């Protein structure tokens, strides 16, 4: 049996981080939830904060997904659904 590791796009990683941070989450929870390294997470959090997709709550010490971040997640899911039929037909062709 052959196992393939699916590589994730930048959008996939961002969406996972935003989903985990929805409602508030610390770095460790986000890191494990998004399956990322600490260094990778920190790079993304800096970018997400500057893009106003997450905010850091200094009182609770949590990152929280903003409305703009939730819109990103929703849009990313819609794009994924639109592309899914294409990726399924491509993998079917590769297996034949």
Q: What is the pTM of this model?
A: 0.82
Tell me the DSSP string of 50-64: HTTSEEEETTTTEEE
Architecture per CATH, 10-95: Orthogonal Bundle (1.10)
pLDDT, tens only, 1-19? 555 557 889 999 999 999 9
Return the axis-axis angle of helices 10-21 and 67-95, rounded to nearest 10°. 140
Sequence spans of domains, the chain: 10-95
CA-CA-CA-CA torsion for 26, 28, 30, 32, nearest 10 degrees? -160
Q: Is the pLDDT of residue 95 over 90?
A: no
pLDDT, tens only, 82-91? 988 776 655 5
pLDDT, tens only, 18-49? 999 999 999 999 999 999 999 999 999 999 99
């Amino acid at each position: 049996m052959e196992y393939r590791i699916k590589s994730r796009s930048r959008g996939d990683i961002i969406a996972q981080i935003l989903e985990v941070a929805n409602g508030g989450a610390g770095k460790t929870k986000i890191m494990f939830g998004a399956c990322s390294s600490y260094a990778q997470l920190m790079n993304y959090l800096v970018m997400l904060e500057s893009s106003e997709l997450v905010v850091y709550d200094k009182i609770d010490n949590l990152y929280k997904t903003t409305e703009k971040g939730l819109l990103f997640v929703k849009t990313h899911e819609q794009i994924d659904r639109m592309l899914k039929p294409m990726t399924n037909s491509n993998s079917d062709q590769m297996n034949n």
